[in-house]
Structure 1
């Protein structure tokens, strides 16, 4: 230990004597290590972090997909990850292998509930909040203790139990300043009184990585709050399951047992599995998959997994380039100290001592760089969170370094110190003392030169790979953002609201919608007020199978699905959608008039591929009880509503309040769809101060009608590409950083080579060599190294493209434009890096050079 401390003190003294070298090396390492630590922070938080609960290793999720939010029909691959509530009750009661099996609502979002403290108890304004239905044993399953009051228990989830809720800790802190009187007080949630029985523990955000849940509500409250309940709707799958297994439980046998229980329940309770031969066939294949549940319902992990793994690989390449650069710097510095090393060896110092001291210096340097990298990582995570989760304000991801991140940074610093210090330590300790003391050094054809050149070639090759990747991702992002969405986003804002949460009954909606249109039209500059169930590219979709009148019922394997939406007459103008044929909606298309629909061009191509006239055709929902109560009266242009990477879906629009009778249980199903979720306002002039006027307008109609979310139409569209934008920008940043590091490495090697060949250059110039020939000689040597790097990097880049193809949009093959651009950028950087020392070599004074020799 004393020897190690002496080596550390010696290393610090040596680094202090060379501040230029030390600062350059520390900055280079800080960027490389900081980038990796920043990416690891996200990887740890999104992919690896366990829920803050008791013994998360025993938690098991039933399912492995991010299915959401209310699904029907046969699941993909006949694999259940989303369940009906009554199916959950059956599984809970028939699987004693679980200590507790809890259920939770799959689809939760901003504004899913509206809550305010009741009058007489410090009345407050209604706040659009995130509410989640959970089973009564939810908190017992996680083994949690309350921050205040008590948590929900099974009796709170019994039919006809008093309405209670548990408040999230963040909500208690943010909105009520940790007021202890909140416990036991009455809150009006979606126009119904609830008693707040307790507050969830600090640090517990819910069962998944998403914005923190504000209010946990028992499933028994769903029939009270919902305009049409799906709690006991057997075909409706809408809950996730997460359980805590008993000690010693084997997941394999349990998975088989649960799959069997699911088949038994479906056979007894869901018509589509009993009535048709196809349903019986699918029932035999139906199963579920048990997965580790310690990270919770990891939907976000599935969404961001590929992007984060890609960024991890890119950051690792940048660190490797930084290590190669530092290795070159350390090697040059070691060679400059060759005389000192030779003297020490001549005086009896062993090679092991010299190697140990050189490695110690490298590791000390790397640890200093790692400490600086923590600061870079802290700032980097802030930037990453802004890029990736700009709309998620309460995510449980923090930029502050955590113990795992600090351990990661320390470990990677230690590893880089060994990597970039090993070769220089070996080479400088294996010089011949006598030769070094005689000053022999004219030749550049030695081992150190070969190592230096190899490191430069490696840097050039890796830099090209990163530049090609950055170019491909940037071009893909540009194609995504500038595709034809079929809408006009200029001078338009989107308002999200929830009449359902404000307590409106079905019979009140006609008057509400008329008030909304009238009040918003009264605002200065408003031209169109578009009301709809949902809007393009907000992440929502309603869909069902279609049956065209006069045709056979679609077969079980036939793709007959179409998305659909509801809208008022002004909606199409409000979003900039064009009428192609027929007519749009009018004020005469009311809840009592004949059923009409407007379809998009993709709908016509899918269901009328032979050129039939769609106007006047009738269709209904796919199913044995279908009635053709939708008449096509118009065709609109295509609009991108869902995933912008996929082809536009067949879609039809219906008037806001029209309800048909087609399909099994259709009336109850349709009640939910007549409640609008969004308003698109088209206006003239600036939108400065517009949000406050919107809030005032909603409040003037009904104080409980709160603004859930407000943003420009352009922002809503742009937010669809936050992940792609983060990956493209970071890859470009890392690519440019790699290019700079490669150029610096090439400059360092060329400068060192010029310095060693100064006598030779002096002789050449004394014998008549022109300055231009000297410049060409040095530059040719530098470009040769870059050229070899390019020769290696181009095929490697072509191979690596396959790893990013999943992130690319409309990538049909090799993009030679990007490849040429990256090659040109690297060639220019190499030219600049080599030209500076080349010009210095051409300025050599032959007399001085020969005299020094």
Structure 2
């Protein structure tokens, strides 16, 4: 123990006497350890930490396999699984919608999650106040109830302690508040941070939901019985799906259920991104270790005479090695202290990202487990950084050093080449990061220059939610023999007319599902006169638009015409389709004039729609995703008694306004709506350019992060190369002096040192390029518009590293060429 304390004091004195070496070593390790610690904090909080439910690791999400249904199921799918599955403890269903909650003073649009009453039992959660839903409240004629989030209870209702049992107005209906959920309950996580001020409503099955298997908008959550594994559940789901295919004529021949861990479903979009960042940070940490090892080797070279003298005076080899390890450990400890501060800064920056960017972002914070991991990283770093210097000390010929033998210091010694190998390794790892950054830059460029299918200049969008919105879970058609007036005719037509005449507004239009909005209503269809495809079924995305939408958005009409304002309820029913639908379902045929049957009288779509135009594809879910088949219907031609009226028109709709110059749309739009339709809540004002930028934010953030890592690695390469060449120049100073005394020019000495540095860079670059090309398939999933083996990227990386190598070698080479031969001869 006394020896260890002595070694620590001695190491501390040595570090204090070399502030430059200490600063460089501590900062290098702090950046490497701090970034890795912050990344582990994110991974631990998002990917590893269980959800705040009882036995959350057992929860499964059940959806339809394939892309047509986007993973959603119908009420009939849910009922069949719930009634037939024997491996499941419980099965629940839920969907996300938007609702308007009205108080005495205002109306506010909130996220509404419609759930089956047994959901809370499966999750094992208890309300903060009151109770959760009863079974009777999930029936069509049962009591109408609502659960409030704690955030909404506090913000809108002033944390009223008597809120339970009171009636509140939601979507134009009086509902009884039966409970308040705690702040930590944010189910479903897919709704993001908006659930902090959301509500929960019972899913009310309607006659249409009970007979239409193709109407899929529900997410299905299940918990296996104790002792049952996910593969066993999947096997039973396969049997249930086969039975449905064999007995239900409404099911497609490809119907298949897929069970997936609920936590994996939530984190799936970011899981591979985080793992890629962990790998990149691992490379940065290796580079930091190599750099510190190089610094320690250079320091050991400078202290060779000291070590030799101490050995001659009786100091054991073990103690010298221990001294080097303690010095490396002290560097790691100092670096770790600074790294913890860096980790706090990085996690604080993560909380500044747009809401919903990272699942469970509110859970990301530095915990004691993170501090333990930091200590583990510091230990590993110490081991990696100290092993080579310790071996160097162990293999040093102390007798030769004491005799100042010239040949013992030659560059042909393996010890003198260790630093070069380390720098070459740093260059190889840096090449990997630079190639990744270059490919991501090309990806971002491709995304930002992708053909959107619409214009962004001068266009602002916002959403409007009617106070009596029905939403997805309340599909109640009108009474028999009646056809209530459509909100399109009574509200939206006069609103659009007023918006078009608002000062500063050039035009206005309405659409159900604006690009990048995330709203998605899908349906099956048949072409009148074509054979019924029972094997696969036709699936398209459905949206309703006002007249002139294509013109306002600048979307080209390729054939025929677009939707017009004259396409009203008494006009012939028409539709336009996009290129993706024409390619997929009308290959080799002319779509114009074909009639689409969108469900017929069974779901209230009384007439077929005649295709009158084909529009260019619009980027919908993201610039990296291909356009999906789309059918656009005139908003006045959606029957109010149809299954599609509530989710298309009597819920959230998007308005788009084209302005003259830089006009603030929100005040004028709010004034117009307050005058004509005061019961509509407006929200989410943003320009279309902002929507596009937000869709590319993930790619941009990935590029910035990887570029920062690559830049840090390049700086370490410069520092490492500078140190190695300075070491070589110092070792060969006598040789260079003698050579100049015998007639060698300073230019030749400069060239000798430069060529050594470029040789190190070339070796590392060659290894890095080979590694990057062989691992290109691992980054392929992150790329768009560029191949993993993009030649221009690899050439650019090679040029960058060669320039970096030249810069790192220039100063040591210049110093080597500046030796005075007369002074060298005197020393000889």
TM-score, normalization: structure 1?
A: 0.87
Aligned partners of 1:494 and 1:679 also within 8 Å? yes
Q: CA deviation at 1:142?
A: 2.6
The structure 1 residue matched to 2:114, chosen from 133, 153, 162, is 133
Residues in 1 aligned to 2:313 and 2:303: alpha-carbon distance in whole angstroms: 16
The structure 1 residue matched to 2:782, chosen from 786, 791, 807, is 807
Q: CA deviation at 1:217?
A: 2.4
The structure 2 residue matched to 1:143, chosen from 124, 137, 151, is 124
Between 840-849 and 754-763, report the one with greater CA deviation.
840-849
The structure 1 residue matched to 2:175, chosen from 158, 176, 194, is 194
Residues in 2 aligned to 1:493 and 1:704: alpha-carbon distance in whole angstroms: 22
What's the counterpart of residue 461 of structure 2? 494
What's the counterpart of residue 527 of structure 1? 506
Between 669-678 and 79-88, report the one with greater CA deviation.
79-88
Equivalent runs, 1:569-584 vs 2, <5 Å: 569-584=547-562
In the alignment, structure 1 residue 818 sits paired with structure 2 residue 793: yes
The structure 2 residue matched to 1:682, chosen from 645, 658, 661, is 658
In the alignment, structure 1 residue 568 sits paired with structure 2 residue 546: yes
Aligned partners of 2:619 and 2:625 also within 8 Å? no
Specify every segment of 5 or more residues in structure 1 that has no aligned partner in the other structure, as ranges.
68-74, 118-122
In the alignment, structure 1 residue 630 sits paired with structure 2 residue 609: yes
3-state DSSP of counterpart to 1:668: coil
Aligned pair count reads 809
State the Cα deviation string for residues 250-272 of structure 1 (Å, max 9, x = none): 5554544454455556766x432
Equivalent runs, 1:266-345 vs 2, <5 Å: 270-273=248-251, 279=253, 282=254, 286-289=256-259, 291-293=260-262, 295=263, 298-345=264-311
Equivalent runs, 1:116-195 vs 2, <5 Å: 116-117=102-103, 123-154=104-135, 156-158=137-139, 160-172=141-153, 178=159, 180-195=161-176
Q: CA deviation at 1:645?
A: 2.8
Residues in 2 aligned to 1:187 and 1:126: alpha-carbon distance in whole angstroms: 11
In the alignment, structure 1 residue 240 sits paired with structure 2 residue 219: yes
Residues in 2 aligned to 1:87 and 1:653: alpha-carbon distance in whole angstroms: 28
Residues in 2 aligned to 1:727 and 1:196: alpha-carbon distance in whole angstroms: 44
Compared CA separation, residues 77 and 817, structure 1 to 2 (3 A): closer
Residues in 2 aligned to 1:611 and 1:815: alpha-carbon distance in whole angstroms: 38
What's the counterpart of residue 469 of structure 1? 436
In the alignment, structure 1 residue 41 sits paired with structure 2 residue 41: yes
In the alignment, structure 1 residue 616 sits paired with structure 2 residue 593: yes
State the Cα deviation string for residues 678-705 of structure 1 (Å, max 9, x = none): 01100012134x3233334333334431
In the alignment, structure 1 residue 219 sits paired with structure 2 residue 232: no
Compared CA separation, residues 777 and 725, structure 1 to 2 (3 A): same
Residues in 2 aligned to 1:532 and 1:738: alpha-carbon distance in whole angstroms: 48
Q: CA deviation at 1:838?
A: 0.7
Compared CA separation, residues 304 and 36, structure 1 to 2 (3 A): same
Equivalent runs, 1:529-678 vs 2, <5 Å: 529-554=508-533, 556-557=535-536, 560-610=538-588, 612=590, 614-621=591-598, 629-659=608-638, 667-675=642-650, 677-678=653-654
Equivalent runs, 1:37-116 vs 2, <5 Å: 37-57=37-57, 59-63=58-62, 75-76=65-66, 82-85=72-75, 87-89=77-79, 91-92=81-82, 99=89, 101-106=90-95, 108=96, 112-116=98-102
Aligned partners of 1:595 and 1:660 also within 8 Å? no
Q: CA deviation at 1:80?
A: 11
Equivalent runs, 1:679-718 vs 2, <5 Å: 679-688=655-664, 690-718=665-693
Compared CA separation, residues 551 and 95, structure 1 to 2 (3 A): closer
In the alignment, structure 1 residue 435 sits paired with structure 2 residue 393: no
Residues in 2 aligned to 1:318 and 1:793: alpha-carbon distance in whole angstroms: 14
Compared CA separation, residues 171 and 451, structure 1 to 2 (3 A): farther
Residues in 1 aligned to 2:709 and 2:70: alpha-carbon distance in whole angstroms: 41
Residues in 1 aligned to 2:186 and 2:630: alpha-carbon distance in whole angstroms: 37
3-state DSSP of counterpart to 2:644: helix
Compared CA separation, residues 25 and 199, structure 1 to 2 (3 A): farther
The structure 2 residue matched to 1:405, chosen from 352, 356, 370, is 370
What's the counterpart of residue 770 of structure 1? 745
| Pairwise CA RMSD | 3.3
TM-score, normalization: structure 2?
A: 0.89
State the Cα deviation string for residues 370-427 of structure 1 (Å, max 9, x = none): 232233233334445555x456599543553123333332222221121111111221
Q: CA deviation at 1:550?
A: 4.4
Specify every segment of 5 or more residues in structure 2 that has no aligned partner in the other structure, as ranges.
472-483
Residues in 2 aligned to 1:501 and 1:379: alpha-carbon distance in whole angstroms: 45
State the Cα deviation string for residues 176-203 of structure 1 (Å, max 9, x = none): 6655444444332212223333332343
Equivalent runs, 1:346-495 vs 2, <5 Å: 346-384=312-350, 386=352, 389=354, 395-440=360-405, 442-495=409-462
Aligned partners of 2:454 and 2:554 also within 8 Å? yes
Aligned partners of 1:133 and 1:222 also within 8 Å? no
Compared CA separation, residues 352 and 812, structure 1 to 2 (3 A): same
Aligned partners of 1:30 and 1:373 also within 8 Å? yes
Aligned partners of 2:458 and 2:661 also within 8 Å? yes
Q: CA deviation at 1:565?
A: 2.3
What's the counterpart of residue 474 of structure 2? none
State the Cα deviation string for residues 505-538 of structure 1 (Å, max 9, x = none): 7534312112321332243210110101111232
Residues in 1 aligned to 2:712 and 2:809: alpha-carbon distance in whole angstroms: 18
3-state DSSP of counterpart to 2:47: helix
Compared CA separation, residues 371 and 602, structure 1 to 2 (3 A): same
Residues in 2 aligned to 1:539 and 1:56: alpha-carbon distance in whole angstroms: 27
Q: CA deviation at 1:154?
A: 4.2
3-state DSSP of counterpart to 2:193: coil
Residues in 2 aligned to 1:207 and 1:543: alpha-carbon distance in whole angstroms: 21
Compared CA separation, residues 143 and 554, structure 1 to 2 (3 A): closer
Q: CA deviation at 1:648?
A: 3.5
Compared CA separation, residues 30 and 629, structure 1 to 2 (3 A): same
State the Cα deviation string for residues 268-302 of structure 1 (Å, max 9, x = none): 6x4324xxxx73xx57xx4543x545x3xx43411
